[in-house]
Amino acid sequence: MCGRLSQYSGIHDFVAALSMPNALINYAGDQPFELYNAAPSTQLALFHQEGQFLRADMVRWGWRPHWAKDRVAPINARVEKVAHGPFFKSIWPRRAIIAINNWFEWVDEGGPKKQPYLIRRKDRAPILCAAIGQYPNAEHGPSKHDGFVIITADSAGGMLDIHDRRPVTLAPELACEWLDPATPQERAEQMVLLQGEPAEAFEWFNVDRAVGNVRNQGPDLIKPINDPLI
């Protein structure tokens, strides 16, 4: 995963995609986010479960433990290692969902510059990505140490031609189970290792190279360059 995504819908669209009956504690606002080209360190709407409530906060994309001051904060965590390595040990139990509209990858097609591709669900529904992080809760407000990482796995199927890593995305019922604090950690590990959504649920197409500039925003960035009417 190359580190660029879109989160342009509003929080209630993402809540509807989760199909979660829990009441919402909303610190993310009610307006559409309109983030068509979000890069690492962007504040994004992140879901986690607090008691019987679903909570949404704006949290920075990227996290590192306090002792890892000699490296840039990672934005992703490899599913093969995340549950057992020391780097993410403190936040592995702190499960979250980052709901997005799509993500981008860059492909070397032999030209002078790599070609960006957009990946989205075929049904256009929000994508529910498994994440872990440090985020506000009822006992602790926002902190400069807050952040989250998206769990990634090897790509499969045709998506491998776009990039060798992809987010672990979960169907709504599994996303709710992932968020539930009562779900054992061993079960959570098996979910992200074995039950992520298949490549067949997604479609991808090339988009304008303007997405390469993080300052560019707007719906034109998510249109197929071969069919600007879509």
Q: Within a 10 A sphere around the Cβ of 193, how many other Cβ atoms?
A: 15
CA distance 81 to 144: 26
CA distance 118 to 101: 10
CA distance readout (Å), 128 to 16, 47, 144, 211, 220: 12, 10, 25, 22, 23
Candidate list 2, 50, 177, 197, residue with the active-site label:
2
* CB of 53 closer than 8 Å to CB of 26: no
Q: Positive or negative CA dihedral for 24, 135, 191, 155?
A: positive
**What H or E segment, with its residue span, contains residue 191?**
helix 185-194
Candidate list 34, 50, 80, 105, residue with the active-site label:
105
Burial class (CB in 10 A: 0-12, 13-18, 19+), 128: buried
Catalytic: 176? no
Residues marked active site are found at 2, 105
